[in-house]
Amino acid sequence: MLHGHGDDAYRYGQNFIADFSTNVWSGGEPIGLKEHLFRQWHRIEKYPEVLGESLAQKVAQHHGVAPGQILVCNGTTESIYLIAQAFRGKSTTIAIPAFAEYEDACRMHQHQLEFIEWDDLFALSQLQTDLFFICNPNNPTGSVFLQLAELLGKNPETLFILDEAFIQFTRSLKTAIPLLSQYSNLVILRSMTKAFAIPGLRLGYIVANEKLINQLKSFKLPWSVNTLALEAGKYIFDNYEALQLPIRQILKAKEDFVTQLQQQAILKINESHTHFFLAQTNVGTAAQLKQYLISQFGLLIREAGNFRGLGEKHIRLATLTPDKNQLLLQALTQWKIHCS
- pLDDT for res 260: 97
- pLDDT for res 7: 61
- pLDDT for res 11: 74
The runs of H, that is alpha helices, within the chain are 33-39, 53-63, 75-86, 100-108, 148-154, 210-217, 227-238, 247-264, 286-297, 322-339
* pTM score, whole prediction: 0.95
Domains (ranges, CATH) in the chain?
9-25+245-339 (3.90.1150.10), 33-243 (3.40.640.10)
Q: Using 70 as the pLDDT threshold, list the residues of the chain that sit under it.
A: 1-10
pLDDT digits (tens, 9 = 90+) for 238-255: 999 999 999 999 999 999
pLDDT digits (tens, 9 = 90+) for 86-104: 999 999 999 999 999 999 9
- pLDDT for res 2: 43
Alpha-carbon dihedral sign for residues 30, 82, 21, 11: positive
CA distances from 313 to 79, 282, 288, 307, 329 (A): 31, 8, 9, 12, 18
Local structure of residue 49 (DSSP, 8 states): P
- pLDDT for res 3: 41
Cα–Cα nearest to 208, from 68, 82, 24? 68
